[in-house]
Every structure is written in C-alpha cells, then in structure tokens.
Structure 1
C-alpha cells in the first residue's frame, strides 16, 4: 500500500476502534518479541473465528484517547522486517503477511497485517494458543480451540482416526526420524534433551500426527509400516517412480512417506552438468536435479493430494525433465499467486496432514514452498519449473534438468541480482511462450532481450569486462560438497574445531552474494547436514560445540 492508502486504512481502523481482530498499542522500543508473538497468535485465531481474512496490530496509536502519538519501535527497517522471522520461529511456520510503515503527520505508525489462521489450524505461540476477550489478551478457550480444529475435521480425509490402529502399526525408524525433525524444527522452543525423554505417544500428539493417542490416517501415511498400508484401503497409499526414454523402469513406494520420498529421489539419475559462462575457462558444475527442489515438490504432492480420489502420486523421469503428478485441482488460488510471494494460503485440502508435515519440517504452510522451488532453480541458472493444469483434477509440476537456451543461463550467471519477475519473463521467452507487452518493453529497455516478434530471444551480449568476470567469481555459489570437503580436511588435519574456527574457515569462501546472516545460516545448515550424514559429530556441548570427524 502507498502512504495515501495506509492513511485511509488507519482512519477506518480508528473509526471502527478495537475489536477482537484489531489491537492498538503505543509500541514503545521495549515492546517484547514474546508479547508480539502472543498478539499475532490471538489476532490470527480470532480472525478465523469471525470469518475475517486478516487482523491488524497497530503501533503508534494511544489506546485510551484514540490519538496518533507515533512510535519509535525499530526504526531500522531491517530490524523491523526481522520480526517476521522472529514470529515464524515461535509459531512454527506462521507469520505476518506484511509490515506497513505510515509516516503520518502526527507521528510514525506501524501496521502489522496478520493473515487469518487457516481453517482447522489454530495458531500457537511457543506451544500456547492465545485469543481475545474484548480488548484483553487471554488464553484461547477450549471451546474456541475445538471450533477451529473441527472446521475441517469431518471432511479432511487425513484427519480421520483409523479404528484398531495402534503404535505397533508405525515404523520405529520413521518415528526416530520424526523425533529428530521435530527437535530441529522446535530447537528454540524445547530443549532437545526434553524431547528425547518424551514417549512416542507424547511426541506424536505434539507433532499433531495423532489425536489423544489415536492413530490418524496422516500418521499411517507418514510413519506407517508398509504392511499396515491396508488400513488405508481403498487408497493405494503409493508413490510411483517411472523412468521413460531409451530405458524404461518403475517402482512403487508405500508408507512411511517420511522415508519414502528420499528413496524416490535416490532412484532418479542425477548426473553432474557443466555450465560454462561466456568467455570463461572455469565451468560451473551443478547436479541435474537439486535434491531440495525435488523433495519440496514431492512433499507438496503428498500434502495437497485429493485422497478421496484414491489415486497415487506419480514421478515420471524423462531424459530432460521430471514430471510430478498428484490427484486434485490446485486447491487455493493459482501457482503464479505464490511465485512472487503475493499470497498466503487460507485453506488446505488436508489441513491435518499439512500441519503434521509442518511440524516434521517437511513443508511450511505459508506458501513459501513454491517460491523456494523457483528461487533455487534460478540460482542454479536452470529453466524455471512449469505447472500444467490442463487436465481437470490433476496438478503436474515439471522440473527441468537441462539448459533450454544457453543465453538465458549465461545471463543469470552475469546478472545475479535480477528481480524474479524479470527472470520469469525471460524464462517464458526462452521457452517460446507469450509474454505481456509491458514486461517485454521493460526487458528491452534493460537490453535483456533481442529480436522482433515472434522471434524474441534472450540477449546473447554478455559483458566480458574483467570486473564483471571477477564479480561473477566472487558471487558464484559452490556446491555444499565443496565446503564439506574443506571442513572435513580441516578436521582431519587439526582433529577438532569450535564454531568460531569453522566460521573463520568458511565465511570468506562463501558467495559474496550472501549476507553475513545468510552465511551464518549456511554454515549451521552444513554442520547439521554433515552430522546427520554421520560424517562429523559434536564432542562438546550445545552451547560450546567441539566438532570432530566421525570414525
């Protein structure tokens, strides 16, 4: 919203004054992140119960007098936007839609735009659910909690309890992995040693896989033993991998889907490809398919499948692409709504399963998954994925494993800061798909495309200046295995390393395109990955780690 629209919105909110879906605060510097998270939980839940599509938390307005007094809360925009991540850490995967700053003549006003809690999925803050009683912040009453949870319980196939099913029907390996994923997801909410002490029953209830200890269909899909799949009949409970081309093969994978998705990925032939930048001798090596992209897409298929149609998820491997299919039309909006991060899903076909998968760190339920798939393909200089919705009640996602136009890939190597909206238009041009006239004019002004209709193509004129080459080398990202080898070589030579030593080893070698915070996250993710692969282990404590090579 621009400043005029924000002024009109604020005037309307003040005129209507406080309700269960609007809260005004002075918003002093000392407003705690804990209180902020509680209000987000309360307002999101109340918006759901009142049929509203959003709620508002407003800083800079005096509650008693309705006067605009201004606020000095986090005047640094970077620190203000960091609240989104802070909220997401406390809720699991829910956060504000946008943080608007209005420079009003009477003072600075901040408006937190909070999406409604999805149907069937109440929002918690650090494990506790909040609501409103008039103007007061209170614990969400059991009646309200039950009302939200029951919104889709009767129609959600995955939420149904399976009679006679028990913990004996669940795979112990899958439960172990589920515990590890839950620990990683909630590391800032529960001490890992506490979660390790929970019984399996307590863990599954906390992870929203069971209902008061009763086994749901979602639990059998994600954690069930293969021999217990009959309890889901007539649904086949299968993921099918097909190889098509000169060679043909197939394999079916049943529960537990928590483990099966990695097994499916292991069947895909994933060779290393070499992309050579213009006028460069140093090739950029990438895998044909990015594991995170494929698993994110596959997990989305599982989460959004229409299980009432008794179909299976199908992954077809062709020589130059993967096609992932699931039953059911695209449920909430259109794919392009999520690619530019303009939409947060309000509803889910399988809210119980979606929440379970969120708790196990398989998906998020804010609509970021599709955007992440597109961003990772863009960072690898590959064609962007395509959604095929031409067949009714079927969603197909195509992930490309081959360069379509070398000029497109070289342009992305050079112009690493291109906005995603421009990359989307360039991708359509390389695939000979229509592009909006205003987007085409914009690309021409930036000299990113050449030619006349209908023969428009991505510009092949890549600057060859030494400075541009050096900038490419500095910002080019290496594969994780490159950094893993550096770390393992260091540990092999010196025996051990604390986090500070590892930071000194790797920080300067990471891409300059990453911010300092992103570099820290990259190193943390690398350590977690190597630990899970049992290549390294922490011989120290959580607060003072001492990393060593595994035997």
Structure 2
C-alpha cells in the first residue's frame, strides 16, 4: 500500500476514512494502557486503537496531528528512532502486523514529524482482542463489540474472489499463448485430445473462466496479458529474491514475474533451478540423486501460494532463495478452518475456489489438501528437516524449506524400500512422518495404527518390553548409515549381555547399587527392566543382595566366582589339548 501524505491526511474524516488522530506531541501516548485502573481508560492506547482498526477492516492511527478537522500538524516525539521496535512489539502483543512510517510537514528541516501506523484489516471470520476484549470504535470511545456483531463476524465465509467478474477486461486482453498452454495441459490431464480443437472462448466458458462472455479474475490471473495484470492486479506478480547468505539484508538479485500463470510458472522454476545443486547417492549398482530444491516440492509450494493467497491484499507473493534454504510468502493467512496444527489432516476449502479448480483440472495442483502432503512427504523422504510453517500468522502464510540433507541414509533407506513398489503401494505422508519420528527416537508419539503398519512392512523393529517398549528403524537403515554397531547396541539385551557389563564393574569396585546398574545399562534397558534382570541374577545365586531400601547393594556371589574359575580352567585345558593335537 502506498504511503499517505500530510496534505491527504488533513482532509480525512475519522469515521468515514477509518483513521484516528492523536496529538501525542511529547511522545507519551500510552502503548498498552499502563496502570490505569479503569479498562475504559486503558483501551485508549496504541494497542487498543490498532486492535479496533484491524477489526473494522483496517485503517490508520496518526500521531502528531490535531483531532479536530482539518487536522493541523503539531509534531510528535512518539517512538522517535524506534519505529522497528514499535512494529515488532505490536506484532508480538497482538499478532497484527502494521506498517509504520514517518512524515514531515517540512521535509528539508524535518520539522512537524507525524507518525502513521497503517493497520491491516482482519481476515474473514477472525477477531482480534485487547485484554481479551474484541474492540471497535464508537465515536471517541473504544467499546467491546456486541454479541451480535461478534457472532456475525465469526459466521463469515470467504467469498471466491477468483470467480468475480473483472468488468474492464475482455477476451482480447487474454494471452493466446497462455490459453494454448492451458488447453494442452487440460487435454493431457483429462486424456481428451479433442479439447485442443475447441475455440478459445468455448474453452474459457467450459472452465467458467468466462461467464456470459465476461472475464473472471481467475482468467486474468491464469491467462491475462502481462500489461493487464500489471494495470489491474499487480499483486498477482511473484517476486524472486536471491541472497548468497541468510545474514544479508540486501538481495543479490531480484526478479519480478508479472506474466499469466501458465507462462510464468515454468520461467520461475527455471530461474530457481539455475542455483540448484544435488547430491549423488549410490546404493550398490542403483544410482539416484537428491536435489537441494526438489522440483515437485517447490512447484507445489508456489502453486499453493498462488491458488490460496488473498488477492484483496496488495502485497505480491515473495520467494526468497538462499544457497540452502527457500522461503515462500503469500498474503492472507491459512484458509478458514486450517491451522499449523491441522493443515495435514483437514479438508480445506480453497480461498480461490475457481482458480484452484482450474489448476486441478489442468494437472497443476493435487486435489484439495494433497499438495501439502506432497511437500511434507518428499521433503522428509530426502532426509531434510520438516517443512516449517511456524512463521505464518493471520495475515500471511510463510513456508520455510531447507535444502540441507541431514540424513542421507534415511533417504537411501526409503528409496530402497519403495523403488519397486507401485505408486498406490508406497508409503503415505503420515507413514513417512511416523518413520521420521521413530528415526528421531520419538516412537512414543507415533499412533498405534501407524506402528502396526510399519512393523508389518518390516520398516521398524520393536525393542524393550511392557512400559519400556520402543521402536527403531529396521536393520537396513543402520547398514546404509554405517552404524551397524549402534543397531547392535539397540538390540534387546539378555542376562549374558547384562553380566558382561556389570561383572567387570563389580570386580573392580566390589559392590554396586541399583542406580549404578541403571547408569551402566542406560540406552539398552529401562530402569524397570534392569531391576527385573538383577532380581533374576540374585535368584540364580550369581549376585548377592545386601541391605534394604535405598541402602541395598549387590556383589558377586561365590557361586559365580567358582563357576568362572571352572570355566577358565576348562578353557585352559582345552587349549592345551588342542596344542598337543597340533590343531593350534
């Protein structure tokens, strides 16, 4: 959104133009209401007005100008030299991301400073609260919303912007090459080559991109001419920035793509792929490679951003590429009903239903919800960190994708187990997520049904007993990773293995407590399992138990010493006899 000017601000009306003026000359306008005892008074602060303006669909809080029309400049010291900190604090405390800037009545002398807090409008069906109260402006007051108003907002449904008619666009404003690509992809996806012979206007009508001869916004985004997109919907552009380091603020290269989607998407991937790399992997005679940036994942992330973004917001979709990371940011939060916690499980309603429907029919995106599955499944299957949506909020979705292959063996393991399977028999995204949890030692968090399926497929193995049960990846994973020794260590330990560890300790120190045994056997047996084995050794008269409770100690029994001596003598005699026979 472009910045306002002081001359424009002077002409605005508070209620009609959704703007609030405050003098704040000394810069002491309250941030959060401070210690004022009356909630009515505490609300008259920066956070209170930001919350109310956001709930009203967005607006401006202007500090340093008179409240009375025509709003003369008085100047303000509010947050001078700390605008970035103010933006950050507002976002931290409200989850609202404002844009804040300074204006000067005299740009030369920097006199008459005015601070403008540009507040975005709330998403559909979303309310924001100050001190747990949803606020709205009523005259000079900030008051709680009525129950009726709250219910009305919570019942809102997002309109399909993409299906709306763009009245100033005709079929002559559409790109014939983009339409040709659309027709080709539809014919291929639907296995209907006759579709290629249909007139363009019929194709667009069949796909509802034109309605009664009028062009929709979906048509403009997908096949509109570049000049029309820039003129009417510049926020449909995609910006690609490249930086050599994540620590750099300035970008090394920046490109803006304002072409119709069907022409733009291949150009965009081509440019991202120019800075791509890969790791070659050899599994005996089988060779495959793991790209830093997986084409299916990147395309799906971009397609989702374009299909689900909020085109009523004026910011473009932005892609930030680094040597080992890629970030995709698009305006508008998750669609209604979708959150970070459920995005893999909920069947979402696309924000732009018509746009998403055409992309699906032409094979660009998966059925609703399955694009996210592909992003997670492919990324984890390549031994990379899980896709990260944690930077998202109510106003934008931000996806971070790591290019770092942290566990090549995990990728080799999954590839070897699935390469000969038909697509329908391969692991689901939830199976891959469960395997990744097991790999990280978090098998306790995996659902029972997933455990049973992975066990039946031979992809994981059970360890421990009763409450100490846990799971590890199957033997082949440890062979791929060169950690055969670790696999053996994770094997269930019996009495002989336990004795091989504790007896040298008892020989050296004479006695030990249960906590000493638990420490020696940590990682192999739980404390409960340790106690069970030690009790058996006492019952077999191989250990002697002394004392009670916390003072209980154990030492080697005379029977074990005699048996050990007997075994040693038998071994010695056997060696001598073999030497006599010339066998050794």
TM-score normalised to structure 1 length: 0.47
TM-score normalised to structure 2 length: 0.45
Which structure has the larger Rg over C-alpha atoms?
2
- Considering Cα pairs closer than 8 Å and 6+ residues apart, tell me whether 1 or 2 has the greater RCO: 1
